[in-house]
Amino acid sequence: MRGLFFGLFGPNAPLPLHLTEYVLDRQRNAKDSTFIAFADIFHHRMLSLFYRAWADAQPTVQLDRPAEDRFRLYMGALVGLSTPGLGDRDALPDQYKQFFAGRLLAQARNADGLRSMVEHFFGIPVRIVEFVTEWMRLPASAHLRLGGAGEVASMGRTAVMGS
């Protein structure tokens, strides 16, 4: 196989243009392709390195090499799976956590995102009803008193409005 887009010969190649002309002349007129065959040794190495550089940046190429899959490691680090000991901690498979990393890490979480994750995981249609209100009774120990010793009133964190 010969790659014609990348190599030592041509107008944009590293070798001088007169060598390209010499090689093409020898191949056309003398049917001598020994210099091209010799250069193909280096082409092969350059194309191999080019492919490796390309493959390192492509997550789909790394799927068939799970031991070297850095993309999965990077996505796992985003959802708390940066080392092998952190995997398989709960019933949700790690693959789903990595698949939904964009939804899980989004600052704005919404019902549509939750619905799509649950539908995809269970494979059934899901409907979410938002803003269903319900009153909760709080025990007296959970009530905040203003001016109490050591208590800091911060609405939504340590203080609850209502009785």
Inside any domain, residue 91: yes
Residues 114 and 156 in one domain: yes
pLDDT digits (tens, 9 = 90+) for 58-73: 878 877 777 777 778 8
Residues 149 and 102 in one domain: yes
Q: pTM to 2 decimals?
A: 0.48
Confidence of residue 111 (pLDDT cuts 50, 70, 90): very high
98 and 79 Cβ atoms separated by less than 8 Å: yes
Which structural domain, as residue segments, surrounds residue 38? Answer: 1-57
The DSSP code for 159 is B
Of 64-68, 84-88, 142-146, 159-163, the poorest mean pLDDT is in: 159-163
The number of folded domains in the chain is 2
- The helix (H) or strand (E) run that includes residue 70 is helix 70-78
- Of the three residues 32, 57, 82, the one that is the final residue of a domain is 57
pLDDT digits (tens, 9 = 90+) for 72-101: 888 888 888 888 788 888 888 888 888 888
Query: What CA–CA distance (Å, rounded) separates 28 from 36?
Result: 12
pLDDT of 76: 83
* Most distant CA atoms of the chain, gap in Å: 101
Residues 26 and 95 in one domain: no
Residues 21 and 86 in one domain: no
Residues 13 and 52 in one domain: yes
End-to-end CA distance of the chain: 80
Residues 92 and 127 in one domain: yes
103 and 112 Cβ atoms separated by less than 8 Å: no
The DSSP code for 139 is P
Residues 125 and 148 in one domain: yes
Residues 35 and 71 in one domain: no
Residue owning tokens 């997550």? 59
Residues 147 and 71 in one domain: yes
pLDDT of 142: 75
Looking at mean pLDDT, say which of 6-10, 63-67, 68-72, 156-160 comes out highest: 6-10
Q: Given a cut of 70, is residue 34 above it in pLDDT?
A: yes
The amino acid occupying position 32 is: D
Residues 162 and 87 in one domain: yes
Residues 148 and 82 in one domain: yes
**Mean residue pLDDT across the chain:** 83
Cβ neighbours around 32 below 10 Å, total:
13
Q: Given a cut of 70, is residue 3 above it in pLDDT?
A: no
Query: What CA–CA distance (Å, rounded) separates 153 from 89?
Result: 36
Inside any domain, residue 62: no
The DSSP code for 17 is H
Structure token digits, residue 83:
């080392």
